[in-house]
Structure 1
Amino acid sequence: MRLESRWNSLSAGNQAPAALNGSAFTNLLFATLARCQDNAVPMLERVKFPSYVLWPASEMDEETQSPTAERNKSFLEEVNFPEPGIINLDMIRSSYLEEGQHGETRRLHQLEPVILERIKTLRLEFKNILRIDHLWVLPNLTKLCLNCNKIEVIEHIGMLTALKELNLSFNYITKIENLETLVNLEVLSLFGNRITRIENLEALDKLVILSIGNNLINVLDGIDRLRFVNSLKVLNLEGNPIAKLPDFPLSQYVTAILPQLNYYEYVFIKDEARDAAQKRFYRELREIEAKQEKEIHDRETEARERAEAERLASSFVEHLDRQQLYETMWRADDDGRVLMLIGAPAQELAEDYEKDVYELTQKIYKLGLERFNERDADIKDFLSCLEEGRQEFQSLGQKHIEEFMQYRDKTFEEASVILRELETCEENGPEHVQLCEAMDTTNAQFDEALNELWQNLMAQELHLHEAIEESTLNFEHRFTRLMSSFVEESQLYFLQLRHVCEHFSESMTDAVSRFISDKLAQHDLDSVPQPLRICIDDRESLLNLVDAMKATHIARIEEREDRMADRSKEFITNYVEKLNKEEIERHRAKILEINSFMEMMRKAIANLPEEIHAELLLQQE
């Protein structure tokens, strides 16, 4: 009744639009059900049942004295009040085996081994859990229910990156934390906790529903941060101290500052209500927008840079578009920094060195983008050809099935006539024997046609599978040649980078030698930097410094070269493996589809006599 009245109250007072699309209606219904469920638990907790309320006092005294009553009492205590503890593997396995199964299905389900990687949903409700742990064994978990426990800290769930729904309602949580890595989270319920402020939710880019009612939130700070969660459509803050402030309509404030929101407290936000709210909180909205303007710009810039980095990573020339390689060459190069202490001569050489390195890295960068466009076009052509081939075979198979379905309709019509005559004729009579023979002939012909269809469809599918495998192999060879050509061309530029490094090292040797010679001639050894004084009387020390600098720079160049070569090989291997895996999955699914169709046709003709018999009985009635 509460659910019905709740739904009626939502739809009666013009709180919902006249017409909702499928997605909006689903979200509203889901939110309404969740709210009713959330409110049910505290209502039940307020109901106090006296011990042994079902027994009269005279019978109660007698029952409580018996050993059976003591055993029942301990059993009930164990069921209703489990010992407080931490999530462990045994709890995970037992909850999975008990979930959603009944009768024989449950018995068979419990006989199967528990493969933790396959668990998608886990419900650990009313378990008296104090602490979250051991969930790292469930990498593919998409729904986790931990409501109605005694959890105080959100922890040890950061590795559940596939999680889409998380229910932590009715616990003792005081702070929202450790959710940043749950990038696929869509539904988050923190209803009925002890949270004092909204925080640490900006990273949840896919969050759609947030229920955080009946907490201790007493400040507005943090609500404005939800503006960065563009996917947020449903928010519930009812029952918090800020929702009870006199002369402050929290619903209007939320409606004004969160333009992406569609429902607040499970009530649809109308356009006129949003306009009125934005007019009332115009000043607050402007202040929030001004404060977040720079952050929004920074986030957009970061998103563009991230997208560009992904594009460059696909072309294997990431971090080569500016001076990144040159900067890494000097990073942790203490010997080179010592040589640079001679001042202007070294600085001039370094500037020329930087210019030469930049020119060569730009050539590698442009080459990578050019080859990436060629590879991308080649991949698109290949995938287009694959899709055309699949569509062609799909059309051919569909044609065979349509022809068979026409034959099936005709055969079933003839068989229906024969079966109706069999129902009316005398059993074991001459006519009955002839009709049975005719029915056997019809069944045999249908089975033969079905087998012929199966052979045609399977032959087409096998031919398509082999053609795709061969095309993928040819694509791999062609793609490998393209990648090898790119790597070889880039290696020529890396070779020139090494020559530039060697030339710079030789120039630095001459510059430092002249610097020391000038200081010796001027008898001004005190102006020689302390780290270079060892080179005054020992040229070998100078050569060692230069060689160490050159080795460091060349090592950075070779690391970048090896990284490009290795990643290009990995890309080919991974992409071809992905193509083969997708084709194997498609091939298996198609075979299952064909066999399922055959089985359906066999069942259809096998069930035809029963259907005709039932139809005749209905006509007689």
Structure 2
Amino acid sequence: MSEQRPDKFEPILMDEEILKEAIEKNRPKDAAGRTVKVEGVTFNDIPTLCLQFRSILKIDHLWEFTCLTKLELNNNLIKKIEGLDCLLNLTWLNLSFNSIEKIEGLESLRKLEVLNLSNNRITVIENMDTLESLTLFCLKNNLLGQLDNVLYLTKFKNLFTLNLCGNPVSKEDDFKVFITAYFPNMKFLDYRYIDEKTKKEASIKYHYVLEKIKRDGLQAQQAAEATQRQEAELQLHHDAFVEFLNGSYLFKDMLKDDLEADKLHHLPGLKSCQEFLDPSLTFEHQMVELCMQLFEIGLAEHKRRQTEVNSFFSGHSEAVPHYQHKASQILANFEQQNKERLEEMQHLTEPELLKLKVNQCNDEINLLCNNLTMLDFQLVSQLEDITKKFDINISEMVGSFSETAQGIYPLFDHLEDNYNEKVREIAVATLEKVAKGSTEGMPDDVRMLFTDKDTVMDALTSGHDNHLMKINDRETRLVTCVNAWKVALVKGIQDKELKRSRMRISGIHRYMDYLREQLEELQ
């Protein structure tokens, strides 16, 4: 990484012409020392791009360099980090000796390992959150003034080399010990190895820091493991087609968009009304029980299906190696005999005898082709039988689960009918009280609502219809998804095996062509 200032040339913009020139300049030399000229420069094949000492003002025209891994832009006149969004494979970036004042524009560089921003005008370490692979960071000779700001870098667990010399923070008496304490995995600071003496001093002086780092690391690990377990559990529920059925999700989902009925059931006065509260609580409890029943059945059925899938792929994996072994034996026997035949024919001088031997060899090649093709046909037939049996078994399992689910969902409808009937009875009774003027102790909002019978009845009907629609949608989704999974699984297996068979047959014919070309060369 160069540490020289660019000569004072005329400022230029980075354009296609400059990029082509840089690529040609860095192409390999031939034996005479001349640059190897390659026509039609393709930017998306270039792994390294060097543009130092060019007086470049702005990073631009790099969108085609999708395979670029190393970019040298040091010793230029760049003021802003930009134009790097398409460089997803970049691992090395050198922007030293420029006029950059802010760290930015690096969000897409998730593979970046080495970042050199030395000799710029940067005051704050920021906007680097996505650089998870960073191992070396050089920020020497900048304007970093807050030592605590360096702690931003503690999130990079792979960072083992840091260079901050020449910054105001590096002049603090406690700088080296401070960094060593907060970065226990750091190997090199300001390009000097962190020795055991410094580590010991840091462990004594910042004992509380190291303990905190250890605790925080353990908590972070536990949190990450908990998140992984939760994600794995959710994925299992999704694969079993019973996601969000282990609780009151369906009940709450039915009520969340029930705007009209919400006016009836969730007015402040009704929230505390025991008459309305009891049916709702009972309904929710019954719904959750039924959901949990379906949830447990779904998990059990998923386990059965997974066992069948594993059994299928186990049988599949046994059939293919058996075919490969037999094919290898046939080829080995043929190649040994064919080698002897070719050696014999190379010494033949009589054209007629040579022609006879060539015909015999062609017959052997045709026989080999037939044997290998027949072997492949046997494999295909065996795999088709295995797949057909698997299709039958998995279809029966999917059908059984669908029927069970379709038998349970009407029970949800029945619960909703009972709930709606009870609430309707309470509403009618309340309407009669209001009509008779018996509104003592009734909140004003409830009394106002129940002065219009049509509004109350419409709200109840609308709520009932919405609840049934939610239940029906959930049932349809379960049945549709599990059947779609089965169809996609079987079709994927069939398509993959068809592709493999075609590749095997194609390979056989290519080999036959090669053998026949060998014979033609002898004639």
TM-score normalised to structure 2 length: 0.75
How far apart are the structure 1 equivalents of 2:358 and 2:177? 70
Say if 1:487 and 1:255 are closer, same or farther in 2 by CA, change over 3 A.
Answer: farther
Secondary structure of the 2:125 match is coil
Q: What residue number does 1:328 align with?
A: 253
Q: What residue number does 1:404 align with?
A: 334
Q: Give the alignment partner of residue 470 of structure 2, picking from 540, 556, 561.
A: 556
Q: Give the alignment partner of residue 487 of structure 1, picking from 379, 402, 407.
A: 402
Are positions 1:211 and 2:136 aligned together?
yes
Secondary structure of the 1:190 match is strand
Q: What residue number does 2:283 align with?
A: 353
State the 1:338 CA deviation: 2.5
> Match for 1:524: what amino acid?
T
How far apart are the structure 1 equivalents of 2:283 and 2:403? 24
How far apart are the structure 2 equivalents of 1:573 and 1:99? 54
Structure 1, 125-134 or 516-525: larger mean CA deviation: 125-134
* Residues 116, 137 of structure 2: 8 Å contact kept: yes
Note the 1:597-612 alignment, pairs <5 A: 597-598=511-512
Q: What residue number does 1:197 align with?
A: 125
> Match for 2:316: what amino acid?
L
Q: What residue number does 1:513 align with?
A: 428
Say if 1:469 and 1:316 are closer, same or farther in 2 by CA, change over 3 A.
Answer: same
Say if 1:311 and 1:283 are closer, same or farther in 2 by CA, change over 3 A.
Answer: same
Structure 1, 491-500 or 207-216: larger mean CA deviation: 207-216
State the 1:588 CA deviation: 4.3
* Residues 177, 199 of structure 2: 8 Å contact kept: no
Q: CA RMSD in A?
A: 4.8
State the 1:403 CA deviation: 1.0
How far apart are the structure 2 equivalents of 1:321 and 1:97? 63
How far apart are the structure 1 equivalents of 2:496 and 2:485? 16
Q: Give the alignment partner of residue 484 of structure 2, picking from 556, 570, 573.
A: 570
| Cα shift readout 1:168-192 (whole Å, capped 9, x = no counterpart) | 4328483356748x8xx44444323
Q: What residue number does 1:378 align with?
A: 308
Secondary structure of the 1:83 match is coil
> Match for 1:510: what amino acid?
E
Are positions 1:175 and 2:91 aligned together?
no
TM-score normalised to structure 1 length: 0.65
State the 1:92 CA deviation: 11
> Match for 1:492: what amino acid?
G
| Cα shift readout 1:46-92 (whole Å, capped 9, x = no counterpart) | 46499xxxxxxxxxxxxxxxxxxxxxxxxxx9xxx76347x9xx999
Are positions 1:541 and 2:462 aligned together?
no
State the 1:473 CA deviation: 5.1
* Residues 137, 162 of structure 2: 8 Å contact kept: yes
| Cα shift readout 1:16-70 (whole Å, capped 9, x = no counterpart) | xxxxxxxxxxxxxxxxxxxxxxx1xx35x646499xxxxxxxxxxxxxxxxxxxx
How far apart are the structure 2 equivalents of 1:413 and 1:277? 78
Q: What residue number does 1:453 align with?
A: 368
Are positions 1:337 and 2:242 aligned together?
no
How far apart are the structure 2 equivalents of 1:449 and 1:173? 76
Structure 1, 314-323 or 246-255: larger mean CA deviation: 246-255
Structure 1, 456-465 or 142-151: larger mean CA deviation: 142-151
Q: What residue number does 1:433 align with?
A: 349
* Residues 238, 265 of structure 1: 8 Å contact kept: yes
Are positions 1:236 and 2:157 aligned together?
no
State the 1:350 CA deviation: 1.2
Q: What residue number does 2:32 align with?
A: none
* Residues 93, 112 of structure 2: 8 Å contact kept: no
Aligned residues: 494
* Residues 255, 269 of structure 1: 8 Å contact kept: no
> Match for 2:244: what amino acid?
H
Are positions 1:303 and 2:201 aligned together?
no
* Residues 220, 242 of structure 1: 8 Å contact kept: no
Q: Percent identity, aligned pairs only?
A: 16
How far apart are the structure 2 equivalents of 1:590 and 1:277? 66
State the 1:351 CA deviation: 0.9
State the 1:370 CA deviation: 1.0
* Residues 256, 274 of structure 1: 8 Å contact kept: no
State the 1:308 CA deviation: 0.7
> Match for 1:197: what amino acid?
I
How far apart are the structure 2 equivalents of 1:579 and 1:121? 38
How far apart are the structure 2 equivalents of 1:480 and 1:94? 63
| Cα shift readout 1:317-354 (whole Å, capped 9, x = no counterpart) | 11111221122122132333332242222111111011
Say if 1:493 and 1:451 are closer, same or farther in 2 by CA, change over 3 A.
Answer: same
Note the 1:272-283 alignment, pairs <5 A: 279=203, 282-283=207-208
Gaps in structure 2 of 5+ consecutive residues = 30-34
